[in-house]
Structure 1
């Protein structure tokens, strides 16, 4: 059995995370500059980049409308809610969006690069894997956050 090919990078490994990506996440997390950030893998640069940000006044519908219908993305969403004790809270969700209609190559690339990005984004409370909009409905976030 040969192990020669194991050390060579292939199409699904070695994805970097741009400094701008981490900085944008920190602005969402610490300064509340954004409500959400959508990340895209740039296959040519072999990096995860920021594709879109949503301002603090934007809602969950604005966020979900920003995700492509037929392609994968990563996203973080800062979810504000009020607890049963009437306390204002905020939880950051990491969403791995991989619609069933997206290309198999894209699904593989996003699946194998997810852990690297997650390690770079310190401070995420919950993670959701979604293949269709119902799996990341606002009610799903509410249930997880409580």
Structure 2
């Protein structure tokens, strides 16, 4: 089903829930969001950030595990809109106009983060937003 604002559809594979992280990209020819990469449960946050391209936009979902000050094991589902400064303007516009529609298709998102630079989503930022 296409998004009225951007004409972008969301492929059913985008709704997977058994991975550490999922990186999504917009297929321009098919005009839909598809899964580009999945991270297995054994992978960590560094593996996730390394899978994002340096000069192209992506959407990503990361299941971030952490330990609270009370020593409780917790998890937060992050939705990250990755839009690096080095990406083309048209790419940034397409991702920005499709973001809300795509995010609504995903279940369980607890924290949203917009990042244009790796420092905006480094581990310290994620930890502070998780708690």
The reply to whether TM is greater than 0.5 is: yes
Q: 1:13 aligns with which of 6, 12, 21?
A: 6
In the aligned structure 2, how far is the partner of 1:75 from the partner of 1:132?
15
Residue among 62, 87, 101 paired with 1:77: 62
Distance in 2 between residues matched to 1:98 and 1:137, nearest whole Å: 15
Q: How many residues align?
A: 129
* Shift, 1:116, TM fit: 0.7
Query: Which of the two has higher C-alpha Rg?
Result: 1
Q: Secondary structure at the match of 1:85?
A: coil
How many angstroms apart in 1 are the aligned matches of 2:13 and 2:21?
15
Q: Secondary structure at the match of 1:115?
A: helix
**Structure holding more helix per residue:** 1
**Superposition RMSD on alpha carbons, in Å?**
1.4
Runs of 4+ with deviation above 2 angstroms = none
| Unaligned segments of structure 1, at least 5 residues | 1-8, 28-32
TM-score (norm 2): 0.94
Secondary structure of the corresponding residue to residue 14 of structure 1: coil
How far does residue 138 in structure 1 lie from its aligned partner after superposition?
0.7
CA shift for structure 1 position 122: 1.9
The gaps in structure 2 that reach 5 residues or longer are: none
Distance 1:66 1:96 in 2: 14
